[in-house]
Chains A and B, each alone.
Chain A
Amino acid sequence: MVAGLVVIALTGCGPTGSASATGGKPDLNGIWQAVNTANWDLETHAAGPGPAQLGAVAAVPPGLGVVDGGAIPYLPEAVAAKANNVANRWKDDPELKCYLPGVPRATYMPYPFQIVQSPTSLMIVYEYAGAARIINMGGTEAAPIDSWMGWSNGKWEGDTLVIDVTGLNDQTWFDRAGNHHSDVLHVVERYTLASPDVINYEATIEDAKTFARPWTIKMPLYRRLEPGAQLMEFKCAEFAEELLYGQFRKQQVGQAR
Chain B
Amino acid sequence: MTCLRMRASLIALPLLWLLLAGCSGNTSRGGVARTPWGDPDLEGTWNNATLTPLQRPPALASKEFFTSDEAAAYIKDRLEQSNVDRRPQASGAAPNVGTYNDLFFEREPKVVKSLRTSLVIDPKDGRIPQLVPEAQARLDAARQRLALHPADGPEDRSLLERCLLFSAGGPAMLPEGYNSNYQIVQTPRYVVVLIEMIHDVRIIPLDGRAHLPANASTWLGGSRGHWENDTLVVETTNLRSTSRGRSGIGMSDEHLRVVERFTRSDATTIAYRATVEDPTVYTTPWTIEISLDRAKGPILEYACHEGNYGLAGILSGARAEENEAGTRGKVR
Which of A29, A116, A147, A232 is the most central at the interface, judged by chain B CB atoms within 10 Å of its CB? A116
Given contacts A7-B6, A148-B303, contact A120 B43 (CB under 8 A): yes
Given contacts A1-B16, A248-B312, contact A98 B305 (CB under 8 A): yes
Among B3, B155, B192, point to the contact of A11 (Cβ < 8 A): B3
Asked if B185 and A118 make an inter-chain contact with CB atoms under 8 angstroms apart, the answer reads yes
Asked if B20 and A148 make an inter-chain contact with CB atoms under 8 angstroms apart, the answer reads no
Given contacts A8-B23, A250-B319, contact A117 B153 (CB under 8 A): no
Given contacts A13-B23, A15-B23, A144-B300, contact A248 B183 (CB under 8 A): no
Bound form: Cα–Cα A244–B198 in Å: 18
Bound form: Cα–Cα A130–B197 in Å: 11
Which of A1, A11, A13 is the most central at the interface, judged by chain B CB atoms within 10 Å of its CB? A13
- Name the residue on B nearest A251 (C-beta): B152
Question: What is the predominant secondary structure among interface residues of chain A facing chain B?
Answer: loop
The interface residues of chain A lying within 8 Å CB-to-CB of B13 are 1
Tally of A interface residues using CB under 8 Å: 54
Determine how close the nearest CB of chain B comes to the CB of A227; give it in whole angstroms: 9
Interface-located stretch among A45-53, A158-166, A235-243: A235-243
Determine how close the nearest CB of chain A comes to the CB of B41; give it in whole angstroms: 9
The interface residues of chain A lying within 8 Å CB-to-CB of B206 are none
A residues 191-248 touching B (CB-CB < 8 Å): 228, 230-233, 235, 237-238, 240-241, 244-245, 248
Determine how close the nearest CB of chain A comes to the CB of B210; give it in whole angstroms: 8
B322 touches A (CB below 8 Å): yes
The interface residues of chain B lying within 8 Å CB-to-CB of A235 are 164, 218-219
Bound form: Cα–Cα A122–B43 in Å: 11
B82 touches A (CB below 8 Å): no
Given contacts A130-B199, A237-B163, contact A248 B319 (CB under 8 A): yes
Asked if A7 and B3 make an inter-chain contact with CB atoms under 8 angstroms apart, the answer reads yes
The interface residues of chain A lying within 8 Å CB-to-CB of B201 are 123, 125, 130, 132
A149 touches B (CB below 8 Å): yes
Which of A121, A232, A245 is the most central at the interface, judged by chain B CB atoms within 10 Å of its CB? A245
Determine how close the nearest CB of chain A comes to the CB of B96; give it in whole angstroms: 24
Chain B 137-155 interface 0/1 with A at a Cβ cutoff of 8 Å (1 = within): 0000000000001011111
Bound form: Cα–Cα A215–B203 in Å: 34
The interface residues of chain B lying within 8 Å CB-to-CB of A238 are 162, 164
Determine how close the nearest CB of chain A comes to the CB of B145; give it in whole angstroms: 12
Chain B 287-311 interface 0/1 with A at a Cβ cutoff of 8 Å (1 = within): 0000000000011110111101001
Asked if B153 and A245 make an inter-chain contact with CB atoms under 8 angstroms apart, the answer reads yes
B115 touches A (CB below 8 Å): no
Given contacts A1-B13, A16-B37, A130-B199, contact A233 B23 (CB under 8 A): no
Asked if B36 and A21 make an inter-chain contact with CB atoms under 8 angstroms apart, the answer reads yes
Given contacts A4-B10, A114-B203, contact A11 B21 (CB under 8 A): no
- Name the residue on A nearest B7 (C-beta): A4
A73 touches B (CB below 8 Å): no
Instruction: Give B residues with C-beta under 8 Å from A.
Output: 2-3, 6, 10, 13, 16, 18-23, 25-26, 35-38, 43, 149, 151-155, 162-164, 183, 185-190, 192, 194, 198-201, 203, 205, 209, 216, 218-220, 298-301, 303-306, 308, 311-312, 315-316, 318-319, 322
Question: 15 more A-B contacts (CB under 8 A) besides A118-B186, A245-B312?
Answer: A1-B10, A15-B38, A21-B36, A23-B25, A23-B36, A118-B187, A120-B43, A123-B201, A125-B192, A125-B201, A147-B303, A231-B203, A235-B164, A250-B322, A251-B152
User: Top 3 nearest A-B pairs by Cβ distance?
Assistant: A15-B22, A248-B315, A233-B218
> What are 23 of the A-B contact pairs (CB < 8 Å)?
A8-B3, A8-B19, A13-B2, A13-B3, A15-B37, A16-B22, A16-B37, A114-B203, A116-B187, A116-B192, A119-B25, A119-B35, A121-B43, A129-B305, A130-B201, A145-B300, A171-B306, A233-B218, A233-B220, A237-B308, A248-B312, A249-B153, A250-B151
